[in-house]
Amino acid sequence: MKTKLLLLTLFLILLQTFVSAQTVSRVGTTAAPFLKIGVGGRVIGMGEAGVTVADDISAMYWNPAGLSGVRSLQLFFNHFDWIADISFNYAGLAVHVPGAGSFGIQMTYWNAGEIERTTLFEQNGTGEKVSMGSVCFGGSFARELTDRFSFGFNAKYIRETLWHCHSSGFALDAGVLFTTQFYNLKLGASISNYGTKLKLEGQDLLVQHDIDLTKDGNNANVNAHLSTDSYNLPVFFRFGVSMNFFRDVLNLSSQDLIVAVNAIHPNDNKEYLNVGSEYMWHDLFALRLGYHQLFLKDAEGGLTTGFGLRPKLGNFQINLDYAALDYGRLDYVHKFSFTFLF
């Protein structure tokens, strides 16, 4: 009963959040945008509708409560070329400790490469290279309170670097997952990247300045420090629902069809839906189809497709997942991920 009341309360809070949705877009008003890039070919192929679907190590990103589904040692690697040749890498390790819960660590590394520095007087370049990158380290914990209810959270350290400047901060993720008695329909909710603001600091902000251009004879090279604004992290509220139709409704053991819907409320954009499906054959091969950023005004997101392979070698299993995302004018992004289960 307490679990049901908790889920109902959380649902009403999220419903109120959507009802009072912002009417003005705030695109580009948050720092660390790399935290918005999804991981895991499986969930991404399903339209990024992962709140209740992710039940392996990739749940650390979508809903840390799903990490409670880990029952062995798992290693996860995700690498792909993001838009504009940006390199994105994500790695994680998770393990289940009987009687305690599931624990995990994660690292995200995002790098935009180098570009040649130009100035107002040297527009063909100075010969110096300017680089930009970001990194995030995190630890996770999840636990099942009952056979139908679990919770989890992440603690993360975030650092962004732009040439000789940097900013850093901390964030928390939290989530819950509940399996109902109605054909095992799953409900879940999570909040991601709730934490400190980021503010750039460093030697590139040290300048020499003439305090009063109207006076002659004064010191025209006073050392000064430029102060930048502080920016929020990209916070996501996610609420999701999913059902295994073939397994739980039709009682088929050799095949399954999962359908998932997620409602997303970001703090730097308007609300939208992610929807997706997965057909699994004998727990060995999967086909996926979805749509992300549905109903989002001026969205670049669109159709997602993918497949997965789960070959087993004794007690060892590897999950190979591929996904392709349509980003409209920005073209397709192709993502591969590998999960090793021991």
What pLDDT band is residue 21 in, cutting at 50, 70 and 90?
Answer: very low
Distance CA 133, CA 158 (A): 11
What pLDDT band is residue 25 in, cutting at 50, 70 and 90?
Answer: low
What pLDDT band is residue 6 in, cutting at 50, 70 and 90?
Answer: low
pLDDT score of 71: 87
Per-residue pLDDT reduced to its tens digit, 201-230: 888 778 877 777 667 667 777 788 888 888
Per-residue pLDDT reduced to its tens digit, 100-146: 999 999 999 988 877 788 877 888 877 788 888 899 999 999 999 99
pLDDT score of 297: 83
Residue 17 in this model has a pLDDT that exceeds 70: no
Q: Which residue has the higher pLDDT, 8 or 284?
A: 284
Distance CA 280, CA 246 (A): 10
What pLDDT band is residue 14 in, cutting at 50, 70 and 90?
Answer: low
Per-residue pLDDT reduced to its tens digit, 89-101: 999 999 999 989 9
- For residue 332, the tally of other CB atoms under 10 A from its CB is 13
Report pTM. 0.84
**Main-chain phi, psi angles of 106, to 5 degrees:** -145, 155
Per-residue pLDDT reduced to its tens digit, 308-338: 999 888 788 999 999 998 887 777 888 899 9
Q: Which helix (H) or strand (E) holds 45?
A: helix 41-45
The mean predicted confidence, pLDDT, of the chain is 86
Distance CA 105, CA 94 (A): 7
Each domain of the chain, given as residue ranges in start order, spans 33-211+220-336
Contacts of 63 (CB under 8 A, 6+ apart): 50, 51, 52, 54, 152, 175, 177, 188, 189, 190, 238, 240
CB of 54 within 8 A of CB of 43?
A: yes
Alpha carbons within 13 angstroms on the beta-carbon side of residue 221 total 0
CB of 244 within 8 A of CB of 230?
A: no
Pick the CATH number of 33-211+220-336 from 2.40.160.60, 3.90.650.10, 3.40.50.620, 2.130.10.30: 2.40.160.60
pLDDT score of 104: 95
Q: What percentage of the chain's residues is helix, strand, coil (to nearest 5)?
A: 15, 50, 35
Kindly report the length of the chain.
342
pLDDT score of 196: 93
CB of 278 within 8 A of CB of 33?
A: no
pLDDT score of 2: 53
Share of the chain above pLDDT 70, in %: 91
In DSSP notation, 27-38 reads: TT-BS-GGGGS-
In DSSP notation, 151-181 reads: EEEEEEEEEEEETTEEEEEEEEEEEEEEE-S
What pLDDT band is residue 5 in, cutting at 50, 70 and 90?
Answer: low
**Main-chain phi, psi angles of 61, to 5 degrees:** -90, -45
Q: Which residue has the higher pLDDT, 22 or 231?
A: 231
Question: Dihedral through CA 179, CA 182, CA 185, CA 190, nearest 10?
Answer: -50
Distance CA 218, CA 204 (A): 25
Gyration radius from the chain CA atoms: 23
**Main-chain phi, psi angles of 10, to 5 degrees:** -65, -40
Residue 156 in this model has a pLDDT that exceeds 90: yes
